[in-house]
Amino acid sequence: MTAAAPIRVVAFGGGHGLSASLRALRHCARDLPLDITAIVTVGDDGGSSGRLRAERDALLPPGDLRQALAALAADHPTARRTAALMQHRFAAMPGREAARVAVPAQGAGKTAPLPLDRITVRGPRVERRADRSKDSLAGHAVGNLLLLGLIEMLGDPVAALDHAAEMVGAQGRVLPMARHAVGIEADVSGGEGEPVTVRGQHSVAVADGRVTALRLVPADPPACPEAIAAVSRADWLIFGPGSWYTSVLPHLLVPELAAAIVASPARRLVTLNLSADRETSGLSTADHLAALHWYLPELRVDAVLADARWAGEPEPVRAAARELGAELVLAPVAVADGSPRHDPESLGVALVPVLGAAR
């Protein structure tokens, strides 16, 4: 008997949202043959990733890529332990504090703090002054340093990610949305006066006010060719859950990738967040869908998945889904403790009939 051809699924996002989606797809794989590819945003400039971008001029911020690899890790004990090692974060040594860095804020002519201080800023250069009371490893995840080393050693981020995927027996492939790190920039309105421009993924994520415009810096980063190829041959493209402005929408702002998404013969699914976070404060569930249309008007969607308990009044959400050409699917996908977090197993159960509908 010939085995069924796998369903080629491409999931877009970053951070914890993409991790939940990938873990859900792993659950789906028990019932459906899946070929999973994660395409990860590369705008992170906070925490360990931000430090590596500032200190080492890292080609890619590794944090979200690391989380995707861990989410796809095989269930074999060695693979799980390797994934746990990659997720391990160094604590500060007793008597020392985590180092911090300061770099020039984009376009401001001032110094914006990122985790590492004792830095002297002279023009565009950043010079480090040694401070033995600081712990340079504190706060770094082992996997971030591993990916940085692989990228430097191999000179190819995709080859580095493929090698790291082998180390954890990844049940899928992890790719960056662009070949190098990007900046995220937003205009944020506080309700009075002109919007303020906020620069940096972390700053946008925690900014007070409503995002009125979102941009990448540079505006036309080189898309990852392997990501473009995966999109072109996919059966399903999945967007969300995740931080809408800093993890989901950035993929639609890479021109080559956006064009591939529009041209792909794949079906498209949007998994909605369970609640607004700080960067989407004031946005309704329907507004999240409207934002997709705003940033990529040509985008057509086949299904929108939401949790009835968290989506609010369903009719506005259903109407917003129809504007994208989609059917609204309601299913219980939140964790049982009542917090606004997706449960990977419940999300996987909800995804099976959606992804398998065309078979």
Question: Is 125 domain-assigned?
Answer: yes
Do residues 348 and 248 share a domain? yes
Phi, psi of 119 (to 5 degrees): -125, 140
Do residues 114 and 38 share a domain? no
Do residues 358 and 248 share a domain? yes
Do residues 128 and 156 share a domain? no
Question: Is 207 domain-assigned?
Answer: no
pLDDT reported for residue 30: 92
List, for residues 295-305, the tens digit of each pLDDT value.
999 999 999 99
Beta carbons of 177 and 257 less than 8 angstroms apart: yes
Do residues 289 and 354 share a domain? yes
Q: Which two tokens stand for residue 8?
A: 């080629």
pLDDT reported for residue 191: 72
Do residues 352 and 226 share a domain? yes
User: What CA–CA distance (Å, rounded) separates 17 from 72?
Assistant: 14
Question: Is 3 domain-assigned?
Answer: yes
- Triad 299, 183, 243: Cα angle to 5°: 55
- Residues in the chain, pLDDT under 50: 1, 102-132
3-class DSSP assignment, residue 60: coil
- Give the gyration radius of the chain's Cα atoms: 20
Domain boundary among 107, 135, 163: 135
Question: Is 247 domain-assigned?
Answer: yes
Do residues 4 and 119 share a domain? no
| Helix intervals (H) in the chain | 15-28, 47-56, 63-71, 77-87, 142-154, 157-167, 201-206, 225-232, 255-263, 285-295, 308-311, 314-323, 344-355
Do residues 101 and 170 share a domain? no
pLDDT reported for residue 4: 80
Please, what sign has the CA dihedral across residues 70, 281, 250, 200? Answer: negative
Residue with tokens 């692989």: 150
Do residues 9 and 113 share a domain? no
Question: Is 200 domain-assigned?
Answer: no
Number of domains in the chain: 3
pLDDT reported for residue 124: 37
List, for residues 67-77, the tens digit of each pLDDT value.
999 999 999 99
Question: Is 32 domain-assigned?
Answer: yes
CA distances from 93 to 90, 99, 356 (A): 9, 11, 50
User: What CA–CA distance (Å, rounded) separates 118 from 247?
Assistant: 31
Do residues 263 and 322 share a domain? yes
Do residues 3 and 101 share a domain? no
User: What CA–CA distance (Å, rounded) separates 211 from 31?
Assistant: 40
Whole-prediction pTM: 0.88
Do residues 101 and 32 share a domain? no
What is the residue range of 124's domain?
A: 97-135
CATH number of domain containing 249: 3.40.50.10680
Question: Is 188 domain-assigned?
Answer: no
Domain boundary among 110, 135, 160: 135
